[in-house]
């Protein structure tokens, strides 16, 4: 008899479900509910609502649960044997917060399968909308929490990250300050992940260590709520938060509502939901030290598994709990594909032409550097947009094309030094990873193999794999993470891009040149002109 597992991903723009057949090692079904297209009555754009101040970005939690029912209806309509699903785990967009009143718990316990979730839960919210990761309106609250904890370094030491505007703690503090009555009437505050898990559970679900680490509220070492952080955020907060649990913990079985309405087995296990980043860690197979993923999308992210806790005291990187029980590191760049597209479009190039220009321009780019802050940046922290060029002007086609790609990966290498170990292999995912020429530059700069590794819906797949692991562990069938990821991720079919080792010394020097350019712009250091001149003389004089 085949064992089926369901992974769900409640992301910014859609809800995705993946059903895997563990015995065959195949993904049997993938379903997606696009919020804008299939739930147009919420009038969301790309899954969100942007208020008059474009720094305030929220979404509708009712939309997420309506999407959940729609997805399950699709399974029923396509005659999927839902009763064979052994366990469910899930992923939620990180940092988003959901505010619920006292009615929430009672309604969940008494759900009527003859009525929709939306109709029954509509009155259970103390706040109709949820601030999500795109919200950047809590600058003041970030400062206040950071100061209360003794500054940036103590804040990072306690919570694993500096205070960031999108993080849950500052968002909760803002709600408390601006709507104290609403905060007072809030019985429990969930993350997107624990909220969705609660719906399936029929009761308040816990928050896992992976997602809890993205709140500025959890102690990153003890993995417990930190009293200092709670007190710095809002009064009586400890009584409004769910408990914390391991990411692999089984939190119960599915609510009778879903058994009666859709045909799930009453024995279907629920595993603690986590954030999209921790789930993607599993979804791309990063369960070993020395392997990282490079996701090239609207934003670029660089994340990986770390066995031992390592913190970025410069305040740029994050440390979250990993589903394995260990940790993961992550750095995120706003100026990802946007910056590459801005350069491409400024010279009226298509992507093929962009690649041709990139290939015919020499590694090292004659020392030409660009700091591509087309919009405010997270890494390094740049509050005001502005593009800074060194050794080139706006009209230099070849120089700008090579500079934007090299500079992005030089920055990534520079700002990942805090992790404490160079990657032994990089998995490249995301839309930008289809460009082999861009990945060749990354391979040369990091001096390591890069696998062109297409993993669609990695967060949902990671959730499904987590469900399988926890289920089998509970039955005494010990299957390693390596075996699970090897079963569903055919590493051998990925394309390997090898670095040109002859450029290792050149890029070691160029990282330092890039560092000097950053120091000049961001920290009032010396102008890098002399450094640049020596670099050019060393590598391009002949």
What is the average pLDDT across 307-335?
Answer: 91
φ, ψ at 182 (rounded to 5°): -65, -40
CB distance 271 to 451 below 8 Å: no
Q: What is the 3-state secondary structure (H, E, C) of 261-273?
A: HHCCCCCCEEECC
What is the average pLDDT across 212-223?
Answer: 97
Of the pLDDT bands very low, low, confident and very high (cuts 50, 70, 90), residue 54 is confident
Please determine, for residue 46, whether its predicted confidence score (pLDDT) is greater than 60.
Answer: yes
The C-alpha atoms of residue 139 and residue 160 are separated, in whole angstroms, by: 19
Please determine, for residue 73, whether its predicted confidence score (pLDDT) is greater than 70.
Answer: yes
Please determine, for residue 488, whether its predicted confidence score (pLDDT) is greater than 70.
Answer: yes
Cis peptide before 380 (omega within 30 of 0): yes
The C-alpha atoms of residue 193 and residue 206 are separated, in whole angstroms, by: 9
Pairing of strands 4-10, 85-92: parallel
Give the per-residue pLDDT at 1.
56
Pairing of strands 300-306, 327-333: antiparallel
What is the average pLDDT across 189-216?
Answer: 98
Give the per-residue pLDDT at 85.
97
The C-alpha atoms of residue 8 and residue 202 are separated, in whole angstroms, by: 17
Which tens digit of pLDDT belongs to each residue from 362-403?
A: 999 999 999 999 988 889 988 788 999 999 999 999 999 999
Q: 3-state DSSP call for residue 220?
A: coil
Q: Which residues contact 155 (CB under 8 A, 6 or more apart)?
A: 145, 146, 149, 161, 162, 163, 216
Of the pLDDT bands very low, low, confident and very high (cuts 50, 70, 90), residue 456 is low
Which tens digit of pLDDT belongs to each residue from 85-124?
A: 999 999 999 999 999 999 999 999 999 999 999 999 999 9
Which tens digit of pLDDT belongs to each residue from 11-41?
A: 999 999 999 999 888 999 999 999 999 999 9
Q: What is the DSSP string of 239-253?
A: GGSPPEE-TT-EEEE
Give me 426's structure tokens. Answer: 């990089």
Set out the domains of the chain in order of their start, with CATH numbers: 4-278 (3.30.420.40)
Give me 510's structure tokens. Answer: 């160029």
Cα 98 off chain centre by: 18
Which tens digit of pLDDT belongs to each residue from 281-312?
A: 999 899 888 889 998 887 889 999 988 888 99
């Amino acid at each position: 008899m085949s064992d089926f597992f369901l992974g769900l991903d409640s992301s910014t723009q859609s809800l995705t479900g993946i059903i895997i057949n563990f015995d065959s090692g195949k993904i049997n079904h993938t379903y997606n509910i696009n919020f804008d297209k299939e739930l147009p009555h919420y009038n969301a754009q790309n899954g969100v609502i942007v208020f008059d101040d474009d720094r305030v970005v929220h979404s509708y939690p009712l939309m997420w649960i309506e999407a959940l029912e729609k997805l399950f209806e699709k399974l029923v309509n396509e005659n999927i044997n839902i009763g064979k699903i052994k366990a469910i785990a899930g992923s939620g967009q990180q940092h988003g917060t959901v505010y619920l009143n006292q009615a929430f718990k009672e309604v969940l316990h008494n759900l009527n399968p003859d009525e929709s979730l939306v109709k029954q839960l509509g009155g259970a919210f103390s706040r109709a909308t949820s601030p999500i990761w795109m919200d950047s309106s809590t600058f003041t609250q970030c400062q206040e929490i950071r100061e209360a904890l003794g500054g940036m370094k103590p804040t990072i030491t306690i919570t694993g990250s500096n205070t960031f505007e999108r993080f849950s703690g500052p968002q909760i503090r803002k709600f408390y300050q601006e709507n104290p009555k609403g905060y007072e009437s809030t019985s429990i505050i969930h993350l997107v992940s624990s909220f969705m898990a609660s719906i399936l559970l029929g009761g308040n679900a816990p928050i896992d260590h992976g997602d809890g680490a993205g709140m500025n509220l959890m102690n990153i070492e003890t993995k417990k709520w930190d009293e200092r952080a709670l007190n710095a955020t809002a009064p009586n907060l400890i009584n409004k938060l769910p408990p914390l649990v391991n990411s692999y913990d089984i939190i119960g079985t599915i609510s009778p509502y879903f058994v009666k309405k859709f045909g799930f087995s009453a024995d279907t296990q629920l595993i603690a939901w986590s954030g999209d980043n921790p789930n993607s860690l599993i979804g791309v197979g990063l369960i070993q030290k020395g392997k990282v993923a490079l996701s090239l999308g609207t934003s670029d992210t660089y994340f990986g598994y770390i066995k031992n806790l390592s913190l970025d005291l410069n305040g740029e990187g994050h440390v979250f709990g990993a589903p394995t029980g260990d940790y993961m590191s992550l750095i995120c760049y706003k100026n990802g594909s946007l910056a590459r597209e801005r350069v491409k479009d400024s010279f009226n190039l298509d992507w093929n032409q962009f690649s041709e220009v990139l290939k015919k321009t020499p590694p090292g780019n004659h020392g030409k550097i660009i700091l591509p802050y087309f919009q405010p940046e997270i890494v390094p922290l740049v509050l005001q947009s502005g593009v800074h060029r060194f050794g080139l002007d706006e009209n230099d086609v070849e120089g700008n094309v090579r500079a934007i790609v090299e500079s992005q990966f030089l920055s990534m290498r520079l700002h990942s030094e805090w992790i404490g170990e160079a990657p032994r292999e990089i998995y490249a995912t995301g839309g930008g990873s289809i460009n082999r020429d861009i990945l060749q530059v990354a391979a040369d700069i990091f001096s390591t193999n890069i696998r062109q590794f297409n993993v669609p819906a990695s967060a949902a797949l990671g959730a499904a794999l987590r469900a399988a692991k926890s289920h089998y562990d509970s039955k005494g069938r010990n299957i390693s993470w390596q075996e699970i990821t090897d079963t569903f991720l055919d590493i051998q079919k990925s394309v390997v891009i090898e670095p040109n080792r002859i450029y290792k010394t050149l890029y070691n020097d160029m990282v330092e040149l890039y560092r000097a350019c950053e120091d000049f712009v961001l920290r009032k250091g010396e102008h890098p002109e002399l450094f640049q001149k020596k670099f050019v003389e060393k590598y391009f004089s002949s």
